[in-house]
Each structure stands twice: as structure tokens, then as C-alpha cells.
Amino acid sequence: MDKFVIEGPTPLQGSIPISGSKNAALPLMAAALLGDSPTTITNIPKLRDIYTFNNVIRVTGCKVDFDEEDGILTIDPKHLSHLEAPYELVRKMRASFYMLGALLGKFGKAKVSLPGGCAWGPRPVDLHLDGMREMGADITLDQGYVIAEAPEQMEGGTFTLEPSSVGATVNLVLASVLRAKEFTIKNAAREPDVVLLCKKLVEMGANIEGIGTQTLTIRGVDTLEGIAIRNASDRIETGTFMIAAAMHPQSNVTLTNVDVDDLGGFPETFSKTGADMTINKDTIHIKAPETINPVSVKTEVYPGFPTDLQAQWSTMMTQANGKSSVTDTIYYDRFSYVPEVVRLGGDMDVEENTVHIEGKNQLKGASVMSTDLRASVSLVLAAMVAEGHSDVLRIYHLDRGYEDLEEKLTNVGANIKRVAQEK
């Protein structure tokens, strides 16, 4: 097991390329199973979750070729025949559950393990299953597996997602585009990942109305064909590096390969910190402020403030000049990073689903440990502005969602080394 050894504080100077989005890529990979010919997806990051899902797809009999150097993934569903996603793979990553919608939609049958993933918070799959039942599928549970069957054509119907859910929206779209007569999803997620998936399914031949709105209407078609797809750039990685650039007063960073339109309202909120931000077509330049303004935020569904950036934002607020608060309305218990940032010297206190932050604190190096992907990167950001030596443990979480993190940050001035953790 590896850890990061970080020496701080270090200003960041230079350019950081933004990688392809894992969260956008995984639904596209599942959609490739629905085609009758190969699909090629570019801008794919080298991440543990991508490798895991590649293996999940290979189990079904699909041919999967991943050119890691160029970020090109080709999925050929011609020999797809094994309609199962096993526990030993699905438990590693929740998004493997997209296999349920893809296999049910393509073949009318599926056996998929209940998912695993990050350790924090209950994220039940009830919405996925209830939506498929409303669509006309027969869903049963057997020894930790979901068994789904559907007739040649399901009548469909209308299903309202309460609350709105990216994962459930994706799974219901995958299940319905080939098999439902007419199916309407209300309160559908509007995140860029969902919009991209729906647009590419339409290019494959699907019939989907209302893309980008809260109401999606899908009318089943007979066949879909594989296509060439450019995966989106990672908006959460973009936001993370924007925050990293603002945290040290001497930092000056340019982010490249950015999908600016996918950032929703985040740039407007970020500008309130006092950072100097210039946005061009696919680049964002950040010059850190001398003093960070305290900015309180509340997470919301897209285009509101993303829950996947709340840990990073809270950490930045420890360096702001004054009091702030961060409230997570999406996941109430996503604050495992707080005691660890406190170990570094942050003045933070959690009350229900809100963390209250008193800035400005001079952080000092320490050993810290995290339990999920975004908490891990928030500790890296904190360690980079802390005085002295920090160890960030359990960085395998980071390898799930950030491509070449230490290399990108080291290239712009951070002092980060990956070393084997002593047992």
C-alpha cells in the first residue's frame, strides 16, 4: 500500500492538463454494450475504476482494447453472451452496477451483484430497481445479486426519481432505449455526464427527448450502432485544481483541456474567493489572491455546487480570512476528512450536515488518513500548504479518480513523493 509524502508549503506555477472524466466515461462504456458494432471512446483516463470496469465488461464476452498511452478505448460487443457481473468485481466500484441497465436493455436478462464503492454513506439502489419495475421488468434479489428479466418490449410508463440521482438516471436510460415502448423519467439528473450519455445514445440511433432537462422520454428502437465518442474532461478534477491554485498566495496556474461549459455555477462561486480567474475556450488561468475571502456554500444537484468538491472547498476555507460554512445536502455524512484536516491544524467543527470553519489557520504537517476519494485529495491540498512534512495514507482512493495526481502537481512545483507504506 502506498502513501504520499508531502513537504510544504509550496506555491504552484505552471500548466496542468485536465484528464478525461471517469464519471462520464463509465456510462459511455456501458452504453457501448448496447450497440451492434464496436464503439471507440477517446480521452479516457488511466484510473483504477476504468481498469475495473474494463474487466467487468470483459467477463460478458466483449472484446475490450485500451490504448493507455493515447487514452483510446474500443469496446466490441459482438461476442457478448455472459449476462452476469460478478461480486468480486462489482464490489470494487459502484458504477459497475450500470451493467444491470445495459444487459437488461440489450438482452432482457441480467444478473448483477449489488455494488460496493466508497465507504461513506448509504447510497441504496432502490431507485434503479423501482424504476425498472415501473418500466415492466421483473426484479428479484438472490444472495446479494439482482436478477432482472424483461419481455421483448416493456410497456414503459413514468417514474419520478426522488431524490434526483445520476446513477439511477443512467441505469434507467440504458435499460429503456432498446426495450421500453415509451418510458418517462421525471426529476432526471441533468449533470453533464447524463447529457453526454444521452446525446451519444441518440447518435447511436436511440430516441430520447428532453436531453438536458429534468424530464427524459425514451422510446425504444430496434437496434443501436457503435460510434466514435470523445469523453468529457473531468469537471471535478478541474475544480480541484482551481482550488489548489487558490490556496497559496504565490500560485499562478493554467488548466488546459477543460470543458468549461460542464462546470455549471462553480466558476461564479469560485470568483468570490478573490482569486483572479481568466476563462478561455478550453483553458482556465488562476492567480491566487493575497487573502482568500471566506465563502460559504451549500451543495446542490447540477448546476449547483457539486458534492464532489465540498471537501476540497472546506479545506481551502481553512486558509480564508474569516468564518465560513459548507453544507452538504446530497450526502449528509461526507465529512470523514474533517478530523484529519483538524490534525493538520484546521479549525473545523461538524454539526449535522454542515462543517463550520474558522480561518485563517497555519496548517502544520502530520500523518493523515482518508476513507474516500474526495476526502483523500482534500488532504493532499491541505498538506501542500502546511508547514513541514505530511504523510497522506491510503492513497489507493486517489488512484480511483485522479490520473497522475502527484506527477501533475509536482510538475507545477509541489513536493510530493509516492512511497511504499510500512506495514
Interatomic CA distance for residues 264 and 270, integer angstroms: 11
Distances (CA, A) of 38 to 32, 204, 289: 7, 11, 48
Angle at 133 between CA 191 and CA 185, to 5 degrees: 30
Catalytic machinery residues: 118
Annotated binding residues for UDP-N-acetyl-alpha-D-glucosamine, written as ranges, equal: 94, 123-127, 308, 330
Residues at the annotated binding site for phosphoenolpyruvate?
A: 22-23
Residue 148's Cβ-side half-sphere holds a number of Cα atoms within 13 Å equal to 37
Burial of 213 (0-12, 13-18, 19+ CB in 10 A): exposed
3-state secondary structure of 126: helix
DSSP line for 146-184? EEEE--SSEEEEEEE-SS--HHHHHHHHHHHTTTEEEEE
The string over 291-324, giving b where at least 16 C-beta atoms fall within 10 Å of a residue's C-beta and e elsewhere, is ebbbbebebbbbebbbbbbbbbbbbbbbbbeeeb
Torsion, Cα 402 408 410 413, to 10 degrees, reads -120
Pairing of strands 39-42, 72-76: antiparallel
Total residues found in the chain within this entry: 423
Phi-psi region of 156 (alpha: psi -120 to 50; beta: other; left: phi over 0): left
Q: What gap in Å lies between CA 196 and CA 181, rounded to an integer?
A: 23
Q: Annotated binding site, which residues?
A: 22-23, 94, 123-127, 308, 330
* Radius of gyration over every alpha carbon of the chain, rounded to an integer in angstroms: 22
| 141 DSSP 8-state letter | E
